[in-house]
Structure 1
């Protein structure tokens, strides 16, 4: 009768794909009303007391685990006990039992891995599981108005990969249409998009444009201020050498050589056994909470996460959940003068969340540091896009992955091009080169496949889409493993 034992407590399957909310209250940190009077970088949204953010996160169903303060950004690691929806049925339990009999691993008492980043003019909230990301938006608008003197939204972005288990979501997150309706009630002129195969890997995006957003009292915001020259430079048209120089702080006029807003996401599913194994916590349960931070940092070093970017540029905060799961936030000081001039950003972030259970394994990587498209040939430099993709993929070894690169442009119609190749086409070329071609051997030991024999395999591209939005370009691509 042993095989008739009841299934584990209803803590899975677990929804790994995150809800990503990004709200800009001004075009740049320099446009915050108190920017000129600040002496410590704590102005705008960074002046909001932590208890106020905690009260907002209670609405979202998250708690702050730890925080790191940078020169321009505060990074919070979050947790939330997985909420089992009230509509759980006997079919759900039978499904869980069936998975358990096939050897699928369960993590009883799964913790939701989430992150929260606060800059003077912008915040980013990334949550997974059954968290209620969108329900926090009205309170966020109030906080920005009352505590930071930012009464209206400049731009809003909400995006997510298609859910694995949408029926387990709560409130407006049960379906994309409901999420759109919720946001439309706050931002009457927002736009919603589905990018990719509706019956396959696809990505959902809702965004507003300057002047389209609402103020916290529900009124339509006035037209956004004219963006000062240089705040939103065009898509880069410089050489790889100049691009690298800018990213590594070697040029005084680097503002015009890189895009002002750049976000790369790598969303991975069907992780290999080798990619999943490190994220099952071996610490005894009674000690897990006390050592979670140290365990997370040790794991980051052991599997190569600490080496994704040069250590001297990185401040890492990692957490290893019990019995499984992992999250990290990293602040990256990619310009040596970061924090000294609000109009010249020089600090970015990356964040990683991992759900390792077999049957619904998932890992995500997100970074907003502008990356060169060609190798910098310096081990102490920010890696180029191709190298970073391969480093991430070789850690998790997914069976399938989706990549998105969201990059700002001053005017898509007039975007400058170099040698007939736009920024998104350069990104698509880097995606394909990183994943479909064997790594080159340079002898330096920093290429994919030369880091402890970690080369995980080759992929075939299953989808490629370039999209133009108002002020932004998107490169979207999907890949699946073809050989290990």
Structure 2
């Protein structure tokens, strides 16, 4: 259920050993990398985004593929690929259907049948692409068609789909490798793949967005020879004279693994959708939330506030006990009554840093008593330092996952997909020094209304027994359409410096789930950052039904035209063979920039 092949230096979250959490995603943290990270050179916020599919769904894997597909690849193998990209793994959320890697420069999501890699700064993402394809072929067992043997260094798995996209860079002259211009990136991809198409969406003399895409309906010329199921090698002595890697070649239904009853209607790509919000010129006041000094102050104030709240509750409990029993004893009942939700600072707790509730209760029950032995809510609180060791105090003032969790909660990102609706959701957040923020979220489909899972959770708390946890896991995997059967994700990355401020939000959670439309998500995210300018790209497979009204002319699509406080500048629609793309660009009303939009390269 949970892969334990994690990079050297990673630690196992205590939550993994807790029985009632066995049906939920789990977090591993790479302390070696996190302790040595410096984000001062992360000047280029806009990310490069690569998404490679090797099959239409996890149910459509070829018989040669290992169980769990790409998820069977050890994390140490991905580390070698990421070294070519120039980024490191900070932490991992493991779940049954997706592993979410938080990187030193953005994120990676590994599903059984596809991988999503998103990197910012001067990373060389495309230089890791061939290694990614080779890992898929030689480690995960996906078919390849460009070599006779897996021992051939050229052997690379045949992708079903390839997507590569990015916003125009702010500082293209600082990029490396093929990323110095879109023209070079397209050439690099065209030299690697057959059947790709490149597009630019938006104003040439303003903010715009680039897309490179391949289609699974492409027929390679000359035709490739068939794949031997047993050897996973290309039959015959001749391979295509082209050095390019074909795309879109699928195993036929007869070639699928035994017991695989997936049909075309079951394929995930029939329900695929991705929402991406790219924001620049962040409001300075909103951007302050993503500076370490501000996050540290918020964390300190919140713990003091929680302690004060516990004091008040303990005092009330003590008074009630005195009225009932005529004395001020019974501290065990007092602690039970005053104990607060364990959901607060969940990542801090799982990282074994400190527990806000324990500190508050200890302060209330043992640190502030009056002469009668009752807790007093008046007067000064016991200094926080008396209840935290040096490591805990350091977590309040240094970069890492602890402050990342504080920021995710305080800025409102944790409420985009709240645990009250998505009880098994997990967020892995990281606060950088001196500024910058990244977060990954793994979002299992919410339980259906009236489900046993819903009745077994209160205020987003996890089911208390292994039995209910198993029920939650089953309900998550069996509810809703195909796209809801697996885990979804979201990812957020923030560069708050005023000279290059940028924030991105991306998710594949279907619009319209639990009644919350895509326009509601966009407004929620934009309100957090209050950008001067932002673009929204909605990429939907034809036939997507989860939020069909977001298509051109639908009511939700019209709602996306009107984001409060902003005016829409552009709306561009691309009708691809099997996907619809709608690109919108907005500018804040009354926004005055220091200059024209930085166009970067064309």
**1:364 to partner: Cα distance:** 0.3
Structure 1 residue aligned with 2:440: 329
**1:32 to partner: Cα distance:** 1.5
Higher strand share: 1
Distance 1:132 1:36 in 2: 28
1:106-125 alignment runs, 5 A limit = 113-125=105-117
Distance 1:213 1:328 in 2: 39
**1:428 to partner: Cα distance:** 3.5
Structure 1 residue aligned with 2:159: 153
**1:77 to partner: Cα distance:** 0.3
Indicate conservation of the 8 Å contact 2:165/2:209, yes or no.
Answer: yes
Tell me whether 1:167 sits opposite 2:186 in the alignment: no
Indicate conservation of the 8 Å contact 2:39/2:436, yes or no.
Answer: no
Distance 1:10 1:287 in 2: 18
1:441-479, CA deviations, whole angstroms, 9 ceiling, x for partnerless residues?
xxxxxxxxxxxxxxxxx0011000111112100010000
**1:310 to partner: Cα distance:** 2.1
Return the match for 1:316 from 424, 427, 433.
Answer: 427
Structure 1 residue aligned with 2:559: 430
Distance 2:428 2:249 in 1: 39
Q: Structure 1 187/164 Cα, relative in aligned 2: closer, same or farther at 3 Å?
A: same
Indicate conservation of the 8 Å contact 1:72/1:119, yes or no.
Answer: yes
Q: Structure 1 197/432 Cα, relative in aligned 2: closer, same or farther at 3 Å?
A: same
Structure 2 residue aligned with 1:177: 183
Distance 1:199 1:481 in 2: 19
Q: Which moved more, 1:120-129 or 1:28-37?
A: 28-37
Indicate conservation of the 8 Å contact 1:355/1:362, yes or no.
Answer: yes
1:14-53 alignment runs, 5 A limit = 14-33=43-62, 43-53=68-78
**1:287 to partner: Cα distance:** 5.9
Q: Structure 1 200/287 Cα, relative in aligned 2: closer, same or farther at 3 Å?
A: same
Distance 2:99 2:174 in 1: 31
Measured on the aligned residues, the alpha-carbon RMSD in Å equals: 3.3
Structure 2 residue aligned with 1:110: none
**1:181 to partner: Cα distance:** 0.4
Distance 1:34 1:193 in 2: 35
Return the match for 2:525 from 387, 392, 402.
Answer: 392
Structure 1 residue aligned with 2:229: none
Q: Structure 1 343/370 Cα, relative in aligned 2: closer, same or farther at 3 Å?
A: closer
Indicate conservation of the 8 Å contact 1:211/1:224, yes or no.
Answer: no
Distance 2:64 2:266 in 1: 15
Structure 1 residue aligned with 2:309: none
Higher helix share: 2
**1:313 to partner: Cα distance:** 4.2
Tell me whether 1:406 sits opposite 2:545 in the alignment: no
**1:71 to partner: Cα distance:** 2.5
Q: Structure 1 382/363 Cα, relative in aligned 2: closer, same or farther at 3 Å?
A: farther
**1:279 to partner: Cα distance:** 0.6
1:142-193, CA deviations, whole angstroms, 9 ceiling, x for partnerless residues?
0000111112100000000111111111110000000000000111210000
Structure 2 residue aligned with 1:307: 415
Q: Which moved more, 1:125-134 or 1:340-349?
A: 340-349
Q: Structure 1 288/56 Cα, relative in aligned 2: closer, same or farther at 3 Å?
A: farther
Return the match for 1:364 from 504, 513, 516.
Answer: 504
TM-score (norm 1): 0.72
Distance 2:64 2:516 in 1: 31
Distance 1:159 1:130 in 2: 15
Indicate conservation of the 8 Å contact 1:187/1:213, yes or no.
Answer: no
1:22-45, CA deviations, whole angstroms, 9 ceiling, x for partnerless residues?
00000111012369995xxxx100
Tell me whether 1:230 sits opposite 2:272 in the alignment: no
Return the match for 1:295 from 403, 411, 416.
Answer: 403
1:369-418, CA deviations, whole angstroms, 9 ceiling, x for partnerless residues?
1111xxx7xxxx3632121111101100100000000000159xxx9x98
Q: Structure 1 219/299 Cα, relative in aligned 2: closer, same or farther at 3 Å?
A: closer
Indicate conservation of the 8 Å contact 1:189/1:208, yes or no.
Answer: yes
Structure 1 residue aligned with 2:197: 191
Q: Structure 1 211/176 Cα, relative in aligned 2: closer, same or farther at 3 Å?
A: same
Tell me whether 1:263 sits opposite 2:274 in the alignment: yes
**1:346 to partner: Cα distance:** 3.1
Return the match for 2:132 from 134, 140, 143.
Answer: 140
Structure 2 residue aligned with 1:463: 570
Unaligned 5+ segments in structure 2 are 1-37, 144-157, 225-232, 234-242, 254-262, 298-392, 448-474, 592-602
Q: Structure 1 211/233 Cα, relative in aligned 2: closer, same or farther at 3 Å?
A: closer
SS in 1 for 2:265: coil
Tell me whether 1:479 sits opposite 2:583 in the alignment: no
Q: Structure 1 36/47 Cα, relative in aligned 2: closer, same or farther at 3 Å?
A: closer
SS in 1 for 2:535: strand
SS in 2 for 1:195: strand
**1:286 to partner: Cα distance:** 7.5
SS in 2 for 1:148: coil
SS in 2 for 1:200: coil
**1:483 to partner: Cα distance:** 4.5
Distance 1:175 1:422 in 2: 33
TM-score (norm 2): 0.58
